[in-house]
Amino acid sequence: MMRLLTLLVLLAALAWSGFWLLGYGALTTAVPQWFEDRRAEGWVAEYDDLSVSGFPSRLDSTFENLTLADPQTGVAWDAPFFNLHALTYRPNHVISVWPNSQSIAIPGEKLSVTTGDMRASLVLDPGTDLTLNRANVAIESLGVTSTANWQLAASAVNLAMHRDAADTSTYRLAFKADDLTPPAGYALPDGIDLPRSFSSFRADLTASFDRPWDRSAIEQSRPQPTALDLTLAEVIWGDLQLHAAGKVSIDTSGYPTGEVTIRAVNWRDILNVARQSGHLPANVLDTVEQALGFIAQLSGNANELDIPLTFSNGATKLGPLPIGPAPRIFLR
């Protein structure tokens, strides 16, 4: 009996070892091939070393000096290392860990990103498409510095993206940033005293896309949104408050149709801050201020407004007044 038990344990150990080696072989073959395929498409896709460890219960992959650059979007990412962790028996649940410093290049500028900790949990559907089922990203002590001469920071950032059970192309998204500081580099208007950071910066929405998020989102093109259902977006900065909720559909060109209601508290000060920042054209702000002033007179409330923002036929209306073209919602 003891000999049989020993044999069974030995066979189980051999089977488990074989299972780990199978995963090891798949990683060390598929990953280099993926990088080779990207280089054949014109990408910069390089790393100095790939190591796989964790025998027998884990498959832990570590990239050293990783660089990825997509020539079609102009987006590039450099990191001194990048870790992927998965249990041997559950390879479709991956924990990814980023370094404390990394750089991201986008058209026109380069971002230096520092974090106290940055990691994500991704659950993928079984299969070679690697379709995203759900993801949770958690960042502590975020700092971003741009070559375009702006900076921002947050004590914590959390993002969740969970696929709808009934529709594989629809995802519920939740975003929250704690102690987020707005981009520095400009003076606030006289008479407006604001704290250094937002007391609330969050959003909760459901987004439908033209296809699910899977490996093709990196290899080919990003899925494009077809509808947004904004449950709540909220920005509170001292006495300034913006709240938004509404629904829009998005056509194949990226233009929305629908209505979003915005509640603005101390709206004139919000516009003054936007004007001082220089990030929005003065003529757009002038049009918005005139429209809001008209609506404020009709509502009888000088400081608080509930405003329907309507999008149709490529145009935007603030209440009854046209204020300009509709924004184009397109993922590069």
- Where exactly are the structural domains of the chain? 1-97
**Cα separations (Å) of 257 from 200, 249, 284, 313?**
28, 5, 20, 7
Question: Sorting pLDDT into bands at 50, 70 and 90, what band is 193?
Answer: confident
Q: What is the pLDDT of residue 4?
A: 41
User: Using an 8 Å Cβ cutoff, are 206 and 164 in contact?
Assistant: yes
Residue 218: Cβ-neighbour burial (10 angstroms; 0-12, 13-18, 19+): middle
Residue 149 has pLDDT above 80, yes or no: yes
Token reading at 267: 């709206």
Model confidence, pTM? 0.87
**206 has pLDDT over 50:** yes
Pick the more confident residue, 52 or 145: 145
What b/e sequence results for 302-313 when a residue is b if at least 16 CB atoms lie within 10 Å of its CB, and e otherwise? eeebebebbbee
Closest CA to 298 of 318, 326, 323: 318
Q: How far is CA 237 from the centre of its chain?
A: 22
Confidence of residue 3 (pLDDT cuts 50, 70, 90): very low
Q: Could you report the per-residue pLDDT of 48-69, keeping only the tens digit for each?
A: 999 988 777 788 899 999 999 9
Q: Which two tokens stand for residue 20?
A: 């780990």
- What would you report as the CA-atom Rg of the chain, rounded to the nearest whole angstrom? 25
Span 99-113, mean pLDDT?
95
pLDDT for position 7: 39
Higher pLDDT, 219 or 119: 119
